[in-house]
Structure 1
């Protein structure tokens, strides 16, 4: 069996036309869902990119793998999905990136990997590595006659204008072309491919026609208070965050969070969705190529995103914080011989994907994995017991600037945020700031904090107890699953 594991960057979970989004059209992923299984309540376990992908590639929660920020090293003792597949004789290849920060222990001080968070998860063989400098793609553009451009030059221009490159030369098109070329070279041998698209991650600049493929008039209403000042009353962290400068590309178009409004914001949201549609188009090209070469029915296809995007909700851009828009992501999978057209509403998480891929490949799942295989769902079965809530985490610290110390008075180890979300409530637990409690069923936009409401004291205690039980249940167990006895070791060790 072949494995095609596709991730998009910053694609929020409601941005699929199969889920009824009023503006975006994703016919190819809709088609994949109709021919496989769509998981409607799937969540990333961490943000931003590096921590989320650490969960994907190790099957571990953030409180276990501890690669909690972009640039925080991933302990080399944690096995990765690619390493497990390689040990079994596969050749996992990477097109794109994994944002895996290397474990610095034992490396020379001059090792170039120590100057970037953009390392490659162990076990993958890069076929087309696209990092922030985008060198292979820029070389491609130069060969096509665009000139010798930098990434900033490629993505310059006014908000909503078409990119200076043609659609067939976009970064997404380029990576898809390389994936198809690799498959042609690999035929007819089995393959394991991780295809990691950067889009729809910023800069929100799209080539024609994708820059205008979504009508801003069809955008859904924003979920937020009338002003950032009112929004910030929800929590001290949120108030401080909304005062922070926006990222470099956004500062070209918006002065700050208070400027995320009106026609400019609608234009930006529409371009973001246009980039979503572009990725969908190229995923369709890849699926069509697999079908035309007779390999689709022998391939496990998995599509997801590392995390979501706030897109103006709560006056925020990006993926910081605790709101579900930053963590709810698509998950669609098609297993050879598996269920067709199934929609799963159970809570699923990124930590489930490594166990799922290994089990589907007939391989054992390491003890380190905190997730649970989804192969039962993919085969049309209903697991006897399944989680009734999801958990996700974020770290608000900024070790480079020390922002968390000056703005919030937090030390470096007091920046954690953990969320437990079930079908009715959401508990947001900060390590050293006040908690939040939302009635998710009655207040799906998370506008009213109920943590101090006496009527909700029982719910808050129950949610906190459940979160503690989750942490205790999934504490690292690679040695605690065994025992040394007079008769020798029993149990299981890793």
Structure 2
């Protein structure tokens, strides 16, 4: 998340930068802001937060209330616990989260799209636990579990990570126990997740139709992406929060004027690169301190593609070079997979003697990135006494300390 004193630290969010450049900025749907009703530079907001945030009185809450409806926990539905959260939602499709968000995005385009340049971010809550497609949306709830791809087996090399996943999902926000996660349950969860994706696919089509109807599609950059995936039973897990492929390797589709058509890229990129890509495509200068770069292959940058990508969680770090991924966790567990030879992450080579030199080299690079990141994150809190010592005013009594120091003079 973004720090609450970001403005005092000299940080501008991308919607602020776009707004300053003359774009009307809008955030519609799930944003996971804290506080949930913050704007962070967006001029227009319609809020439909996380499906599990039942007590948030957002715009969707009031929409339901005006119609005599309310947000429902997954456990208020038949079969919730037996099916590990795979249910059919009681609310009709017309009043579902994603239908609300899609409709509001279309309304924004119809009302404001022709007024001038705009930047709209749309967050669909649907593809997430609980796995709860609507009964009356085509056959979204009725995918055959037996048609779903089989989940990756649990290789048993990270038992502490799996126990943590079991424990966190027992909490009230979810309340399921996956300690004995059967193959039938995994396939049912996958089938319901496919239904949620189908519902979002419909809403994305509605937004694209609105762009086309308003004559905007040919001069609008459209990026379809997400923040994370879901294990859906891979490795005996659900949700996210570790560095397996199902959670961190996400889809991204981009189209727009002047951009290549039909091109598929396997360059190493990160979610944060979407920010620099949007700014560059909009003709907005990218701040020097921003740790983001335009996506390669789109004609927006001369920078080479990343040679490494790094990941951080609250309890772990990761480095990936396009073939090998090394992950280290606070549990003490280490995984080292060759994803070319082992895409299902079944053979942990962390302690294999023939790969020790490569593992040590990547581990050193990861340590260097961790230290760089920590140093940059502390910049605003560190007083440069060496630089100030020769300033006359430094010696005056009662001198107040500047906090936070602006981060804008730091190069990422």
TM tier relative to shorter chain = 0.7 to 0.9
Check conservation: 2:48, 2:97, Cα contact below 8 A: no
Cα offset, 1:143, TM superposition? 4.6
Matched, 1:120 2:14: no
Q: Is the 8 A contact 2:26 2:43 kept in 1?
A: yes
Structural mapping, 1:298-447, within 5 Å: 298-374=219-295, 376-379=296-299, 385-395=304-314, 416-430=315-329, 433-447=332-346
1:122-271 superposed matches below 5 A = 122-131=40-49, 132=53, 133=56, 135-144=58-67, 147-152=68-73, 156-159=77-80, 162-190=88-116, 191-208=118-135, 209-225=138-154, 231=156, 233-242=157-166, 245-248=169-172, 250-251=174-175, 254=176, 256-271=177-192
Change (3 A) 1:246 1:447: farther
- TM-score normalised over the length of structure 2: 0.80
Shift of 1:187: 4.0
Question: C-alpha displacement at 1:437, in angstroms?
Answer: 1.7
* Counterpart Cα distance in 1 of 2:332 and 2:224: 36
Q: CA RMSD in A?
A: 3.1
More relative contact order in 1 or in 2 (CA 8 Å, sep 6+)?
1
Query: Equivalents in 2 of 1:373, 1:382: separation in Å?
Result: 6
Tell me: CA distance 1:382–1:221, structure 2 relative to 1, closer, same or farther (3 Å). farther
Residues in 2 aligned to 1:129 and 1:391: alpha-carbon distance in whole angstroms? 31
Give, in angstroms, the shift of residue 382 of structure 1: 8.9
Cα distance in 1 for residues equivalent to 2:79 and 2:65? 23
Separation (CA, whole Å) in 2 of partners of 1:363 and 1:439: 39
Give the Cα–Cα distance (whole angstroms) in 2 for the partners of residues 235 and 81 of structure 1: 40
Find the residue that maps to 1:305 and give its secondary structure.
coil
Give the whole-Å Cα distance in 2 for the aligned partners of 1:85 and 1:311.
Answer: 37
- Structure that is richer in strand per residue: 1
- Give the deviation of 1:465 after TM superposition: 2.4
Q: How far, CA to CA, are the matches of 1:248 and 1:261 in structure 2? A: 22
**1:178-213, Cα deviation, whole Å (9 max, x unpaired):** 111121111421222111111112221111335435
Aligned in 2, Cα 1:284/1:426: closer, same or farther, shift over 3 Å? same
Count of residue pairs brought into register by the alignment? 371
Residue in structure 2 matched with residue 12 of structure 1 by the alignment? none
- Alpha-carbon distance change, 151 to 462 in structure 1, aligned in 2, over 3 angstroms: same
> Residue 93 of structure 1 contacts residue 124 of structure 1 at CA under 8 Å; is this kept in 2?
yes
C-alpha contact 2:165 2:238 (8 A) present in aligned 1 = no
The answer (yes or no) to whether the contact 1:223–1:445 under 8 Å persists in 2 is yes
Distance 1:139 1:120, change over 3 A: closer
Residue of structure 1 equivalent to 2:364: 465
Q: In structure 1, what is the Cα distance between the partners aligned to 2:87 and 2:245?
A: 30
Q: Larger C-alpha radius of gyration, 1 or 2?
A: 2
Alpha-carbon deviation of 1:286?
A: 0.8
Counterparts of 2:79 and 2:329 in 1: how far apart (Å)?
A: 39
Q: Structure 1 length as normaliser, TM-score? A: 0.67
